[in-house]
Structure 1
């Protein structure tokens, strides 16, 4: 009986398989002997366990780190924020959580989680106190950048956790590793405190989501690193089936916010790539996109881009809007700046450099002019004006001007914004009395069931109060009859705003507006 012939490809696979198996076996032997075999696991665990306890030093360093971080965020200084990380002790309990999950030690996990929770609460409370007593309560660029997770934030969390776990396993932990982990945790935690102090729900939930996401990434990465280095359940005397279930539940609960964050991040990344392709497809000739920005917080989503093109294309924005809205299934507003350049690659490069230099010079000049105008109107020096050229934002805290009302400060902001439509310029006025909101009987469409409605002056006063509350960062209270207050709060809810209320009786009537600091 003849055997079937063996093809050359099959013979090659049979010869290659033993080679791959040998390489894999050699790698596993090297890893278990020269890597994990050289780690004193018991010593590492005991040291990590001892440093997870809550102590006076731990609480003091947490407060000092959080305090410096929030002051740096309020000043918009990245250097001060990074400097605050030198003091942060958050690495020890979070690494304790990761190692406890890896070996299934429920008691250690509970101790580490308790220390971490206490540190988080103390940091939030301390930063909220600092913000509450601080005259600076405006949202700076540093604060705004930490109100939602991004791929860069997750990358910092994962890489710092890998570095931290490796350093602890190998006994080479130090300040630098702690700084890396604290950078991913302390700034968003400080912003959570800012949100609490200013009663800003958007800032609070956004930064809390970022903190939970980074915390999840660090803890899970530390667990995976510990498992890779041979830390197993055999080191725990209390590892039971119930603890196995609890560890699995902990992994699942920790993965939920990370999954939600990653899903949104992936969608936004894909949407940005689609936007780049859509803008290029609008033009029939090769073009270069020098700047592209997607603002997903606006409704509709706003796409702005600068396109270097050999020839202008009419209706480019309208065509891009239709294509983007179809791709994303959401309304998109497109703003394209078309810069005409030569057809050769060299001409395009030169034009791109020239345009970049021109835009940079114009941006600097605009920022300087805006800072000088704001300083003059607010009665402060140019150095007291915060200008973010990248995001086209300017913020100034105005000095009290004799005789100036809250309406006057709002008009100053509106006047300078009208002259700079591409910029977001904000006045932070001093606390001034706010006008009352009168009511009257009316039978029009805007009237309430009982025929009562806020007058035109009253609606303007309500809008002024909402503006003042946002700018100053101090809550405003509506004081008046129940139905009138409910009517005004319904108007605010429609615009996404909110105010506290104090009821003085039933029915309708004029409503007073007070600062809660009074």
Structure 2
């Protein structure tokens, strides 16, 4: 339930009370004794009825920005309270614009606490990635407050609140810098202190390998989490869990960038940073579009971009051009990478599915991001292959390279990681030779070898 108080003038009184009566809303009215004068009208409403009744009041002449106080009420008993509850019980009625802005602002922290929490979450994410602990990485997502400025950016943009929009964009950029910087500092201390091997193949750590470059999955996750956050914000329900989903798409990736910089994997650092920017843009776009589609748009773009002075106009124009350039480059680069990954996957499967490699199977295909074409460096492709013990494929890397080059037209470097396994046969334990007849019992891998890869000294945490 909501308890609403509005201040109406003498001229508005009759129209407002008549509008409330037409909706069977029970109210009390009292004279305002302050210098402002007028009348205070107070009435309880079901939460889902607030938007409808506010629209009715606006039609009656009460302005949207008029004096209004919305509070929570445990319960209300009035002559028409049950009727209103039944009427709006199954209606989807998003929060009003003032409620939306208030809820979004309540989720935002002051800059000092925001920076501190982002810094701590980046340290936790870095530790979780280096030890390969998904639970620790999830913990870093829970405390990261990145959802606040993401939502206020969308709300400020769609409602025309320039100050909210500008400050939220600035906070997002600051959060990215702090997250990457915090991860870099902590990873550097770990390496300098000897807690982690100085020669570490970070690409062999699975949680890091998943975040090496943009992919269709990362774009979908960003768009879906942004849309879910925006939709959740418009309802009366909590958005804390949605905030975890947004942090999941950003914080581990920022930590991966810091780790890659410390171990001087510059290609991986560039790829993860590009992934971070692409995901952040996707989230913001999804938030804005969702709020716009739900009818919150109230933007006079000329006023929003014009500014009061020539200097302000120029500054806003340059900012808009910069944002468009960043979004454009990110979109082009992400699209190129997704297309390239799809072609690489198709070429790799065509090779491994041939009769020559009938006993091998692809475990995974990884692609490092090297930049926007035509300014990118040659691509690195890593293919993990599972095959029975006793089989050898000395020409597989060359065959894959030729097939990928033909499919994509790119000069690539192919690394093949081999994982050997054994299978059991009826009554006997075999060594995986060509004469083995595998049974229906699946066997786990017993050995793993790597040929043509960049492995140095993989870190295997205890």
Same fold judged by TM-score > 0.5?
Answer: yes
Q: 1:136 aligns with which of 192, 196, 202?
A: 196
Q: Does 1:270 align with 2:343?
A: yes
After TM superposition, list the pairs within 5 Å mapping 1:465-504 onto structure 2.
none
For the residues of structure 1 that align with 2:229 and 2:217, how far apart are their CA atoms?
18
Higher RCO by CA contacts (8 Å cutoff, separation 6 or greater): 2
Distance 1:194 1:296, change over 3 A: closer
- Residues 53 and 112 in structure 1, CA contact (< 8 A), matched pair in contact too: no
| Map of 2:289 onto structure 1 | 224
Q: Does 1:328 align with 2:399?
A: no
Cα offset, 1:307, TM superposition? 8.3
Distance 1:124 1:64, change over 3 A: same
Q: Does 1:176 align with 2:232?
A: no
After TM superposition, list the pairs within 5 Å mapping 1:332-481 onto structure 2.
354=439, 357-358=442-443, 360-363=444-447, 424=455, 426=457
| Map of 2:329 onto structure 1 | 256
SS in 2 for 1:185: helix
1:186-226 CA-partner distances (Å, limit 9, x unpaired): 11112233344445433432221111111011001111111
Cα offset, 1:316, TM superposition? 8.8
- Residues 405 and 411 in structure 2, CA contact (< 8 A), matched pair in contact too: yes
Cα offset, 1:180, TM superposition? 0.6
Cα offset, 1:234, TM superposition? 4.3
For the residues of structure 1 that align with 2:336 and 2:329, how far apart are their CA atoms?
11
For the residues of structure 1 that align with 2:317 and 2:437, how far apart are their CA atoms?
59
Cα offset, 1:162, TM superposition? 1.7
Q: Does 1:117 align with 2:173?
A: yes
The TM-score, its normalising length taken from structure 1, stands at 0.53
Q: How many correspondences in the alignment?
A: 328
Distance 1:294 1:115, change over 3 A: closer
Give the alignment's Cα RMSD to 1 decimal. 4.4
1:216-253 CA-partner distances (Å, limit 9, x unpaired): 11001111111111121348995355689679643553
- Residues 103 and 235 in structure 1, CA contact (< 8 A), matched pair in contact too: no
- Residues 213 and 261 in structure 1, CA contact (< 8 A), matched pair in contact too: yes
After TM superposition, list the pairs within 5 Å mapping 1:301-316 onto structure 2.
301=381, 305=385
Distance 1:288 1:169, change over 3 A: farther
For the residues of structure 2 that align with 1:352 and 1:178, how far apart are their CA atoms?
51
| Map of 1:512 onto structure 2 | none
Q: 1:157 aligns with which of 203, 216, 222?
A: 222
- Residues 128 and 136 in structure 2, CA contact (< 8 A), matched pair in contact too: yes
For the residues of structure 2 that align with 1:261 and 1:352, how far apart are their CA atoms?
45
For the residues of structure 2 that align with 1:273 and 1:352, how far apart are their CA atoms?
30
| Map of 1:106 onto structure 2 | 162
Cα offset, 1:60, TM superposition? 2.8
For the residues of structure 1 that align with 2:119 and 2:340, how far apart are their CA atoms?
37
| Map of 1:410 onto structure 2 | none
Listed as ranges, the gaps of 5+ residues in structure 2 are 1-54, 57-89, 308-312, 369-377, 424-435
1:246-276 CA-partner distances (Å, limit 9, x unpaired): 7964355324313311321122113312432
SS in 2 for 1:362: strand
For the residues of structure 1 that align with 2:156 and 2:106, how far apart are their CA atoms?
13
Cα offset, 1:123, TM superposition? 2.5
- Residues 320 and 334 in structure 1, CA contact (< 8 A), matched pair in contact too: no
Listed as ranges, the gaps of 5+ residues in structure 1 are 1-31, 342-350, 367-391, 394-419, 429-518
- Residues 189 and 208 in structure 1, CA contact (< 8 A), matched pair in contact too: yes
SS in 1 for 2:362: strand
SS in 2 for 1:239: helix
| Map of 2:145 onto structure 1 | 89
The TM-score, its normalising length taken from structure 2, stands at 0.58
- Residues 253 and 275 in structure 2, CA contact (< 8 A), matched pair in contact too: yes
1:318-369 CA-partner distances (Å, limit 9, x unpaired): 7776554433334576979999x9xxxxxxxxx99749834x2424xx6xxx
For the residues of structure 2 that align with 1:246 and 1:146, how far apart are their CA atoms?
32
Distance 1:175 1:70, change over 3 A: same
For the residues of structure 1 that align with 2:234 and 2:346, how far apart are their CA atoms?
40
For the residues of structure 1 that align with 2:417 and 2:135, how far apart are their CA atoms?
35
Flag the structure with higher helix content. 1
